């Protein structure tokens, strides 16, 4: 098992993620138990037997269709295992194969991956109101120039804009109620954010109690979703999002959005630091 801090900010913080070279004979219940034993919110199980690695993601509650910061952690470990400074690979996850890039930098391993098309749609008034009530967000806390949006790179989640950073940091959701509402509406969770005046930077928090993660330190896929949403509504193609503030783990995710024949697609990136692993190296030490 290797522990990776994914989406670090200046080599600090990030989301601790367990990465294991997978034994395909393991049962899914064993994989869930491994997540609990690792003490991380997520784990990536990597089958590296072929030319295209297959990566599966688990929380203690079950398997996820995909995981952005888990992909960043897995690709960092694959680069480190190969003892090279850069690779461009394809990764299979959740029935999809996509491009990844990992590069050893002086301050860690930089990873980017192709998130693919992001489906965007409005949230119904009833769904929006039930989620806001569970989040304990009042109507006057909401941003006036943006609106909640359902975004799905494969799994839907609700993007919720609030007016200020103090509002974002003060949110105390009813997690049990939020989990029930997200399950009822089919949402992975809620990505609450506040934008800079120029819309090229944001701060955000991700609540996903429906999958057993009350508050995620980092949610990279939701950053890609936000980039797609801002591209669709305001024409902005790139953003960087600070996360992990309330967990004391400063984190940063980058994303760019482009128009393709399949819709708006996003590319997501972040830095990773290898904290500990079976070969005894730590702190992202270069091969």
Residue 248, judged by CB atoms within 10 A of its CB (0-12, 13-18, 19+), counts as exposed
Cα gap 287→83, rounded to integer Å: 5
For every residue of 268-284, DSSP letters joined together read EEEEEEEEE-TTS--TT
User: pTM of the full predicted structure?
Assistant: 0.92
Task: Please give the pLDDT value at position 275.
Answer: 87
Cα gap 55→21, rounded to integer Å: 9
**pLDDT tens digits along 232-259:** 999 999 999 999 999 999 999 999 999 9
User: 109-140 in b/e burial notation, b at 16+ Cβ within 10 A?
Assistant: bbbbbbbbbbebeebeeebbebbbebbebeee
24: pLDDT strictly greater than 90 = no
Task: Please give the pLDDT value at position 278.
Answer: 53
Task: Please give the pLDDT value at position 242.
Answer: 98
**pLDDT tens digits along 156-205:** 999 999 999 999 999 999 999 999 999 999 999 999 999 999 889 999 99
Per-residue confidence band for 280, with pLDDT thresholds at 50, 70 and 90: very low
281: pLDDT strictly greater than 50 = no
287: pLDDT strictly greater than 50 = no
Task: Please give the pLDDT value at position 282.
Answer: 46
**pLDDT tens digits along 41-99:** 999 999 998 889 999 999 999 999 999 999 999 999 999 999 999 999 999 999 999 99
Task: Please give the pLDDT value at position 50.
Answer: 83
**pLDDT tens digits along 106-154:** 999 999 999 999 999 999 999 999 999 999 999 999 999 899 999 999 9
């Amino acid at each position: 098992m290797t522990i990776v801090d994914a989406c670090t900010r200046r080599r600090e913080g990030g989301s601790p993620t367990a990465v294991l070279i997978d034994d395909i004979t393991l049962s899914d219940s064993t994989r869930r138990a491994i997540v609990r034993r690792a003490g991380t919110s997520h784990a990536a199980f990597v089958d590296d037997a072929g030319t295209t690695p297959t990566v599966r993601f688990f929380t203690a509650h079950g398997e996820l269709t995909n995981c952005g910061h888990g992909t960043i952690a897995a690709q960092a470990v694959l680069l480190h295992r190969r003892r090279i400074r850069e690779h461009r690979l394809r990764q299979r996850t959740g029935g999809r194969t996509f491009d990844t890039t990992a590069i050893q930098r002086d301050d860690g391993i930089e990873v980017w991956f192709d998130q693919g098309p992001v489906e965007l749609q409005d949230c119904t008034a009833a769904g929006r109101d039930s989620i806001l009530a569970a989040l304990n967000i009042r109507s006057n806390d909401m941003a006036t120039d943006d609106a909640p949006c359902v975004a799905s790179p494969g799994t839907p989640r609700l993007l919720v804009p609030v007016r200020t950073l103090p509002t974002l940091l003060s949110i105390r959701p009813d997690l049990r109620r939020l989990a029930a509402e997200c399950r009822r509406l089919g949402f992975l969770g809620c990505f609450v954010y506040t934008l800079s005046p120029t819309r090229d930077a944001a701060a955000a928090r991700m609540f996903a109690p429906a999958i057993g993660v009350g508050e995620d330190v980092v949610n990279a896929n939701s950053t890609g979703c936000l980039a797609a949403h801002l591209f669709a509504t305001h024409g902005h193609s790139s953003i960087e999002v600070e996360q992990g503030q309330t967990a004391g783990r400063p984190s940063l995710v980058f994303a760019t959005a482009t128009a393709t024949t399949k819709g708006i697609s996003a590319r997501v990136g972040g830095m990773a630091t290898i904290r500990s692993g079976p070969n005894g190296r730590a702190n992202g030490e270069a091969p």
